[in-house]
């Protein structure tokens, strides 16, 4: 199991996506830098560019969970 998870982490670090048939897919999405606002103080802040992972449930799993 450790070898599988290690290879999944390495793939995501390279920017590749992971797809497990019947379960779902995991991809990195890139977000550009932008100006944000601190909700408490209202101060403008710079939010750095980042990559966030996104999981999409596969149809087979979705059907089984919702039935």
Domain range summary for the chain, segments of one domain joined by +: 2-66
Q: How far, in Å, are 43, 50, 54, 60, 63 from residue 66 at the CA level? A: 43, 33, 21, 10, 5
Superfamily the domain 2-66 falls into: IHF-like DNA-binding proteins (4.10.520.10)
pLDDT value for 15: 87
Beta partners for 20? 24
| pLDDT for position 39 | 94
At residue 7, the pLDDT reads 93
| pLDDT at res. 10 | 92
pTM exceeds 0.75, yes or no: no
pLDDT at 57: 93
Q: 5-55, pLDDT tens digit by residue?
A: 999 999 988 989 999 998 999 999 999 999 999 999 999 999 999 999 899
């Amino acid at each position: 199991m450790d070898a599988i998870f290690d290879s999944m982490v390495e793939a995501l670090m390279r920017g590749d996506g992971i797809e497990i048939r019947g379960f779902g897919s995991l991809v990195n999405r890139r977000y550009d830098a932008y100006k944000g606002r601190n909700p408490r103080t209202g101060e403008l802040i710079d939010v750095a560019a980042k990559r966030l992972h996104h999981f999409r449930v596969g149809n087979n799993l979705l059907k089984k969970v919702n039935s």
